[in-house]
Amino acid sequence: MQIQKNTVVTLNYRVIDSDGNPVDEGSEPIVYLHGGYGGIFDVIEEALQGKAEGDQLSIHLEPEDAFGDYDAELVLIEPRNLFPDNIEVGMQFERASEDGEDDELYTITDIADDKVVVDGNHPLAGMALNFSCTVAEVRTATEEEIGHGHVHGPHGHHHH
């Protein structure tokens, strides 16, 4: 079966940075609903269109194709008293966005005496990546999966 709109695709994959360093070894396969549902980056979805089980691909992703460019405006210095006592560098928290739409994920990158530096960029923002994969399985999506816009069952979404 070929990958087309409303098929469920299972990929075995690996992601490396532009220097060849591993970013994601793909310990679990990616399972997504193909056809513009946002389950995988658009550039990868376009490259997979028409492929079949066993096909292999290697796709170069520029930052704008993946996690976006690094935005210095998303690095903020906040007063230490806004945070609990037990914070550490590397911890993440959600912050309500200005427009109230989606919460934004921030990572604590530095803690000084009375200040905390937080970064709202994705850790891979600004990086070019190389995504290689093998199509492990392609199946027709169920009506329920199409209606919900995502995969159900193992490796998929289980609740609503």
The architecture that CATH gives domain 72-119 is: Beta Barrel (2.40)
The matching CATH number, chosen from 3.40.50.720, 3.10.580.10, 3.10.50.40, 3.40.50.261, for 7-67+127-148 is 3.10.50.40
Indicate left, alpha or beta for 82 from its phi (over 0: left) and psi (-120 to 50: alpha): alpha
Whether the predicted pLDDT of 101 surpasses 80: no
- The type of residue at 157 is H
Choose between 123 and 104: higher pLDDT: 123
The CA distance from 96 to 100, in Å, is 6
Q: Which residues of 51-86 are buried (b: 16+ CB within 10 A; e: fewer)?
A: beeeeeeebebebebbbeeeeeeeeeeeeeeeeeee
| pLDDT tens digit sequence for 6-29 | 999 999 999 999 999 999 999 999
Q: What's the angle, vertex CA 90, arms to CA 28 and CA 95, rounded to 5?
A: 90
CA neighbor of 11 nearest in space, from 68, 52, 63: 52
pTM: 0.79
* Domain boundaries, given as residue ranges, for the chain: 7-67+127-148, 72-119
pLDDT of residue 105: 86
Band of the pLDDT at 125, cuts 50, 70, 90?
very high
